[in-house]
């Protein structure tokens, strides 16, 4: 019994062995398959969808700009005083 424990402790895994998994070409192939599927599903928005997207995006950018400007003004006023 003791001999098997000693033998098991002395066994080291081989350092040259790499874990088996997908190769780089398989991973790239899967990525391109996923990209192709997304492009096939995507469609060009009609005019009303595009205009609503522009409005939402413009509103978000404007709000972020206003918030940033307010923070800048508060910082400027605090540092100056």
pTM: 0.50
- Residue pLDDT, tens place only, 25-72: 899 999 999 999 999 999 889 999 999 999 999 999 999 999 999 999
Output the pLDDT for position 14.
60
In three state form, how does the secondary structure of the chain look? CHHHHHHHHHCCCCCCCCCCCCCHHHHHHHHHHHHHHHHHHCCCCCHHHHHHHHHHHHHHHHHHHHHHHHHHHHHHHHHHC
Write out pLDDT tens, residues 11-24.
Answer: 555 666 665 667 88
């Amino acid at each position: 019994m003791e001999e098997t424990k000693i033998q098991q402790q002395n066994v080291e895994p081989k350092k040259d062995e790499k874990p088996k998994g997908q190769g780089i070409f398989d991973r790239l192939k899967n990525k391109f398959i996923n990209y192709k599927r997304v492009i096939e599903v995507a469609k060009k928005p009609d005019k009303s969808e595009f205009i609503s997207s522009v409005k939402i995006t413009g509103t978000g950018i404007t709000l972020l700009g206003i918030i940033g400007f307010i923070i800048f003004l508060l910082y400027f006023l605090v540092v100056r005083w």
